[in-house]
């Protein structure tokens, strides 16, 4: 029977069955070369001793199966837009090479096998029959260089065609998906975070600082949440408000980041008057820079209420009937305070996902990440 060699000083193993799971894990945490050698020797040991299947090393059999499955993996190597450029096999050899015309048509497509990539231009799945790329809510035709349906964000840029792809600049810009905040869960702590960038005639440093202070005051309390398995979490809300490109009163013709599908920031236009503030499409304004009815911004700041919309909360009032019963004094009712109901509303979908995710033992001690989708706030 082979021996397992190369163990740390003071560790002597003559019989495979005396190895414990912790022993192997400690050894495998050493150098890569050592880990590969040790793993191979343990595998050989297990294969020559049937009784080891009932030992604490049984998990290594499962690990071996996983390693065998992972041998047949394809790796996508994207360009600056996320488009697949090279596809390699698990052994590192290239199996497909792609280049695109500016609007996504295939320019070069070379393959060394019969397998071909499903996710190509802008990392979106291309339908083999139609040649259309699926972006989640609609289809894009790279041959026609247009969307096949109206852009749901077309009201953001009324001067552009609602069928135009990425402001007719597909080399630099990618299409957005409208997710605007992030929820992370780890070590009994939940963090709700979002970034807000201000631009427009009313976007001064003083306004940004005042909005940040008021958001911190309203949303900076202590909250909690509980998972389905009974775990209790401390919840904190961290919203950062900054000037777009760190410039006062900037007036960008186009904000490229807002079209980036991997960008989770919010871009809010700030007016220089006391006009009504609101959030549409989950991540855009406008917001006012003054208080109403002669009040200062510090006395009547729209930011804390509007941040609730950015995080997925709906209004708890109507213009016709006023504040909904039971929501008096709440941030989403009459711009009062944040309470546990607001936190529960923001976390509702994320906790449902987390409760399923945490059932997998492989996710223990890992960080859970959930991206808030505020395209239809209703909480």
Per-residue pLDDT tens for 217-251?
A: 999 999 999 999 999 999 999 999 999 999 999 88
| Cβ contact 325:319 at 8 Å | no
What angle, rounded to 10 degrees, do the helices at 58-69 and 32-47 form? 110
Helices then strands (H, E): number in the chain?
6, 16
Q: Which helix (H) or strand (E) holds 163?
A: none
Q: What local confidence, expressed as pLDDT, does residue 82 receive?
A: 75
Q: What local confidence, expressed as pLDDT, does residue 209 receive?
A: 97
Residue in the block written with tokens 């992030």: 182
Tell me the three state secondary structure of residue 242.
strand
C-alpha dihedral (47, 50, 56, 60), degrees to nearest 10: 30
User: Would you call the peptide bond into 286 cis, given omega within 30 degrees of 0 as the criterion?
Assistant: yes
Single out the residue of 193, 201, 379, 218 nearest to residue 300, CA to CA: 218
Compare 2 and 337 and report the one with higher pLDDT.
337
| Cβ contact 21:3 at 8 Å | no
Q: Among 48-62, 114-128, 175-189, 324-338, which range has the highest average pLDDT?
A: 324-338
Pairing of the two strands 232-243 and 189-199: parallel
Q: Give ∠ CA 174-178-183 in degrees, rounded to 5.
A: 115
Which tens digits make up the pLDDT trace of 313-358? Answer: 889 998 889 999 999 999 999 999 999 999 999 999 999 999 999 9
| Cβ contact 90:70 at 8 Å | yes
Compare 68 and 114 and report the one with higher pLDDT.
114
Tell me the three state secondary structure of residue 318.
strand
CA 232 to CA 218: how far, in whole Å? 23
Which has the minimum average pLDDT: 42-46, 90-94, 255-259?
A: 42-46
- 275: pLDDT confidence band, cut at 50, 70 and 90? confident
Q: Give ∠ CA 69-74-77 in degrees, rounded to 5.
A: 145
- CA 130 to chain CA centroid, Å, is 30
CA 37 to CA 28: how far, in whole Å? 9
Whole-Å CA distances, 207 to 198, 269, 282: 9, 12, 21
Q: What local confidence, expressed as pLDDT, does residue 99 receive?
A: 86
CA 232 to CA 227: how far, in whole Å? 7
Per-residue pLDDT, averaged over 261-271, amounts to 78
The two tokens of residue 195 are: 């970034």
Rg, the chain, Cα only: 27
Contacts by 130-134, CB closer than 8 A, 24 or more apart: 133/104
CA 296 to CA 197: how far, in whole Å? 21
Q: Is the confidence at residue 23, as pLDDT, over 70? A: no
Q: What local confidence, expressed as pLDDT, does residue 113 receive?
A: 84
Task: Please state, for a pLDDT cut of 70, what percent of the chain lies above it.
Answer: 68
Single out the residue of 180, 206, 182, 202 nearest to residue 192, CA to CA: 182
CA 104 to CA 120: how far, in whole Å? 9
Residues 324-342: b if buried by 16+ CB within 10 A, e if exposed: eeebeebbbbebbebeebb
Domain-wise residue ranges, the chain: 16-69, 74-168, 179-357
pTM for the complete prediction?
0.55
């Amino acid at each position: 029977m082979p021996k397992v060699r190369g163990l740390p000083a003071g560790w002597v193993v003559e019989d495979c069955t005396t190895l414990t799971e912790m022993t192997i894990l400690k050894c495998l945490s050493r150098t890569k070369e050592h880990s590969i050698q040790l793993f191979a020797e343990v595998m050989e040991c297990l294969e020559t001793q049937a009784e080891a299947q009932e030992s604490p090393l049984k998990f290594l059999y499962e690990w071996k199966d996983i390693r065998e499955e992972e041998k047949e993996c394809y790796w996508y190597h994207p360009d600056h837009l996320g488009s697949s450029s090279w596809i390699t096999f698990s052994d590192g050899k290239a199996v497909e090479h792609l280049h695109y015309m500016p609007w996504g048509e295939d320019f070069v497509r070379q393959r060394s096998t019969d397998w071909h990539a499903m996710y190509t231009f802008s990392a979106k799945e291309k339908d083999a029959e139609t040649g259309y790329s699926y972006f989640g809510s609609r289809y894009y035709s790279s041959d026609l260089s247009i969307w096949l349906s109206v852009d749901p964000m077309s009201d953001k840029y009324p001067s552009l065609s609602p069928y135009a792809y990425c402001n007719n600049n597909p080399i630099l810009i990618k299409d957005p998906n409208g997710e605007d905040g992030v929820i992370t869960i780890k070590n009994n702590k939940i963090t709700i975070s979002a970034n807000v960038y201000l631009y427009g005639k009313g976007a001064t440093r003083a306004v940004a600082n005042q909005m940040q202070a008021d958001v911190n005051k309203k949303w900076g309390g202590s909250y909690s949440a509980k998972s389905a398995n009974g775990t209790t979490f401390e919840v904190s809300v961290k919203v950062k408000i900054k000037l777009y490109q760190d410039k006062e009163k900037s007036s960008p013709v186009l904000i490229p980041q807002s079209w980036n599908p991997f960008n989770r920031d919010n871009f809010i236009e700030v007016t220089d008057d006391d006009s009504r503030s609101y959030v549409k499409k989950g991540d855009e304004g406008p917001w006012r820079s003054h208080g109403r009815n002669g009040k200062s911004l510090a006395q009547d700041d729209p930011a804390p209420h509007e941040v609730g919309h950015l995080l997925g909360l709906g209004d708890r009032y109507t213009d016709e009937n006023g504040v909904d019963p039971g929501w008096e004094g709440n941030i989403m009712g009459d711009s009062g305070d944040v309470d546990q109901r607001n936190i529960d509303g923001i976390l509702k979908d994320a906790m449902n996902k987390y409760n399923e995710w945490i059932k997998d033992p492989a996710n223990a001690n890992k960080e859970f990440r959930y991206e808030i989708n505020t395209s239809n706030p209703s909480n």
